[in-house]
Amino acid sequence: MAKAMARHILLKTEAEAQQLKQRLAKGEAFDVLARKYSTCPSGKRGGDLGEVRPGQMVRAVEQVIFKKALGEVHGPVKSQFGYHLIQVFFRE
């Protein structure tokens, strides 16, 4: 069964997500920004989602976790919860 390790930052608006994505691109630390801005409980862990398996996350987020390039920050990805910035470390 497939599994992946990923982290994300959940924000209320697309504009906030774009702003943070630019800050990440300039080298700010993902975990620091996640702790400060993420509206998801995972923010307390620097956005760490731990081990993710298919069927655990909303479809839009899973599409990124299991299909997009590793290491890059993807998003903003819209879901019913808000806008996600997602980074995938590992997938098998």
- pLDDT value, residue 83: 98
pLDDT class for 36, splitting at 50, 70, 90?
Answer: very high
Mean pLDDT of 56-60: 95
Domain of residue 82, residue span: 4-91
CA distance linking residue 37 with residue 51, whole number of Å: 22
Total structural domains within the chain? 1
Amino acid at 89: F
Residue range 75-89, pLDDT digits in tens: 999 999 999 999 999
Per-residue pLDDT band at 1 (split at 50, 70, 90): confident
* Euclidean distance between CA atoms 46 and 37, whole angstroms: 10
User: Alpha-carbon distance 23 to 52, whole Å?
Assistant: 26
Q: What is the CATH number of the domain that holds 45?
A: 3.10.50.40
